[in-house]
Amino acid sequence: MTQHRIECTVNGEAQSVDVPARRLLSDFLRDDLHLTGTKRGCETGICGACSVLVDGEVVKSCLMLAVQVQGREITTVEGLGQGDELHPLQESFMVCGGLQCGYCTPGFLMTSCAMLKNNPDPTVDEVRHGLNGNLCRCTGYTQIVESILTAAEKMRGN
Amino acid sequence: MRDFDYLEPTTIDEASRMLADLGDECRAIAGGTALMLGMRQRMLTPTHLVSLAHLEPLCGIDFDGRRGLRIGALSRHADVANSPIVRAHYPVLASMASRVANPQVRNQGTIGGNLCYADPSTDPPGCLMALDAQVVLGSSRGERVLSIEEFLVDYYVTALEPDEMVVEIRVPPLAVGTAGVYTRFLRTAAEHRPLASVALIARRDGALCREAKIAVGASTPIPTRLRRAEAFLEGRTVTADIAAEVADIVAADIEPVSDTRGSADFRRDMVRIVARRTMAELFGLDINEGAR
């Protein structure tokens, strides 16, 4: 079975790792690079806990092979903040109570990060639609939506 | 997931020869969203994946007023949804693409892969059928062009030969005065797979319908063109009553599937409702859904 050298950038750092063809991106991040912030949830493309950014766009890393990110730029939840400084979304999820058990949170953070980049001033409806690839079984989503709207406002500089 | 070899051809000819040589043992991969699920569940256990990612002729979206739209098979749903060309000339297609699955899948899944998978519960095939789209297939033997009706054979079955791949999708230009609406029914707002969909492309003068194309998707094994309903609409001034009559014809003329997601009767009822909503939106009608 073919081995492939994956050369890509993860959270700004160049990586070069040999993996078998069947390595999923989620497993590559967690098991090869030890970036365990990205969660494996349903592993069937439903829950979105494994969401990461590839070239700035959100994807589900359990539905993508590591060989598909050759030469590309990946951002995981570990790359969201700057050192000890949290990203405004991380801050607002904490302040607004946008999580309970926290397992889905990295996925929600990555999805909402991409969402706000494309649409810095979303309506409640747009936020809710933008989250339809992510499941949370604790919060009922209300505080997640609040968290995102709060971060959006802060990021717009209000 | 079983082990496999990952091959990366750079020309259609090379890819076609790989697919032909490996036969049933291999699968082509574009975005891979649906393929990964099938492989993870071991419904598919290919020994080889042939990646189409490096095939230049499968890329890009362009438009020519005479020939119409060309969508490279590797275009992702998000590419179709966000393309200024598609939004300007085929807003119904952009609107449909913006609703496929969820944001993550739209950033990875491709329109070519979607058609090849021939999943009945998805958005693009029905909308493309109402637009009279064609599918261009490539192989080392050359090219052939099929209509969507010819390409989609049955539930998860296409007319693709083992050595072929979808190169591009062509959509003819729309005549002046043409508008389109794509409407679907989801059991819950968060669901990813429609239970019923109706695409209507109509050339009209105000409420007068000069020409109509209607396709029902997601509730039949492959999308269905509704020729009798189209003929009924043509030349009529569309009122709420006419829309209701057309919806009845649409619902009567389909053979819905029956499965755990919905019985045939339920699907037929929802198709009738979605058809009426679609016409109401396109012709700007007020409909009272409680009335029938």
Number of compact structural domains in chain B: 3
> B62, B68 in Cβ contact below 8 A?
no
At position A109, the amino acid (one-letter code) is: L
Asked whether residue A158 carries a pLDDT value surpassing 80, the answer given is no
**B270: exposed, middle or buried (C-beta count within 10 Å: 0-12, 13-18, 19+)?**
buried
- Distance, in Å, from the CA atom of B58 to the CA atom of B72, rounded to the nearest integer, reads 5
Task: Give residue A119's domain range.
Answer: 88-155
Any A CB within 8 A of B187 CB: no
By C-alpha distance, the chain B residue nearest A25 is B36
Same domain for B62 and B146:
yes
Residue range A75-98: mean pLDDT, rounded:
96
| pLDDT value for B290 | 64
Q: Helices (H), strands (E): how many in chain A?
A: 5, 5
- Indicate yes or no: CB of A63 within 8 angstroms of CB of B107: no
**What is Dmax (Cα atoms) for chain A?**
54
Q: How far is A111 from chain B (nearest CA, A)?
A: 8
Answer yes or no: are the C-beta atoms of B93 and B171 closer than 8 Å. Answer: yes
Chain A residue set in contact with B, beta carbons under 8 Å: 1-2, 4, 20-22, 24, 43-45, 48, 51, 54, 57-60, 62-65, 67-68, 111, 114-115, 128, 130, 132-133
Within chain A, residue ranges assigned H as helices are 25-27, 88-96, 105-118, 124-130, 142-155
Do residues B73 and B161 both lie within one domain?
Answer: yes
Give, to the nearest 10 degrees, the angle between helix B240-252 and helix B264-283. Answer: 150
Same domain, B183 and B249: yes
Domain that holds residue B10: 5-51
Beta carbons within 8 Å of B219's beta carbon, 6+ residues apart: B120, B195, B196, B197, B254, B256, B257, B262, B267, B268, B270, B271
Decide if A63 and B104 are in contact by the 8 Å CB cutoff. Answer: yes
Q: Which residue from B32, B103, B190 is facing A63, i.e. has the nearest CB?
A: B32
Q: How far is CA B43 from CA A27, B30, B40, in A?
A: 21, 18, 8
User: How many of the other CB atoms lie within 10 Å of CB of B207?
Assistant: 13
User: What CATH code is carried by the domain that includes residue A109?
Assistant: 1.10.150.120
Per-residue model confidence as pLDDT tens digits over B115-172:
999 999 999 999 999 999 999 999 999 999 999 999 999 999 999 999 999 999 999 9
pLDDT at A50: 98
Chain A residue with the nearest C-alpha to that of B36:
A63
pLDDT of residue B23 exceeding 60, the answer is yes
pLDDT digits (tens, 9 = 90+) for A105-118: 999 999 999 999 99
- Specify the pairing of strand B26-29 against strand B48-51: parallel
pLDDT band (50, 70, 90) for residue B190: confident
Q: Is residue B271 domain-resident?
A: yes
- The contacts of residue B180 (CB under 8 Å, 6+ apart) are B90, B91, B92, B93, B130, B131, B174, B199, B200, B201, B202, B282
Reduce the DSSP state of residue B236 to 3 states and report it.
coil
In angstroms, the separation between the Cα of residue A57 and the nearest Cα of chain B is 7
The shortest CB-CB distance from B36 to any of A1, A58, A63 is to A63
* pLDDT score at B237: 97
Distance between CA atoms of B196 and B217, rounded to whole angstroms?
A: 6
Q: Is residue B292 part of a domain?
A: no
Confidence of residue B291 (pLDDT cuts 50, 70, 90): low
Mean pLDDT, to the nearest integer, of B202-228? 97
Q: Are residues A12 and A73 in the same domain?
A: yes
Region A139-145 average pLDDT: 96
pLDDT band (50, 70, 90) for residue B21: very high
Of all residues in chain B, the one with the smallest CA distance to A60 is B104
Q: What is the CB neighbour count within 10 angstroms for residue B268?
A: 20
Of the candidates A21, A49, A79, which is a domain's last residue?
A79
CATH number (domain holding residue A36):
3.10.20.30
Residues B111, B43, single domain; the answer is no
Residues B85 and B150 in one domain: yes
The CATH code of the domain that includes B97 is 3.30.465.10
Task: Tell me what the mean pLDDT of segment B209-214 comes to.
Answer: 98
- Per the structure, how many domains does chain A have? 2
- Domain membership flag for residue B289: no
Q: Do B102 and A67 touch (CB under 8 A)?
A: no
SS3 A14: strand
User: Quick check: is B291 in a domain?
Assistant: no
Tell me the pLDDT tens digit for each residue of B55-99: 999 999 999 999 999 999 999 999 999 999 999 999 999 999 999
Q: Of A27, A62, A79, which closes a domain?
A: A79
Kindly report the average pLDDT of chain A as a whole number: 97
Cβ-Cβ contacts under 8 Å between A and B: the total is 81
Last residue in a domain, options B109, B140, B171: B171
B188 in contact with chain A, both atoms CB, cutoff 8 A: no
Q: Which chain A residues touch B107 with a CB distance below 8 Å?
A: 54, 57-59
Written as six digits, the tokens of A74 are 């990946």
Domain closes at, from A24, A51, A79: A79
pLDDT at residue B191, rounded to an integer: 85
Among the candidates B171, B190, B223, a domain finishes at B171
Q: What interface predicted TM-score (ipTM) does this complex get?
A: 0.97
Among left, alpha and beta (phi > 0; psi -120 to 50; other), residue B222 is beta
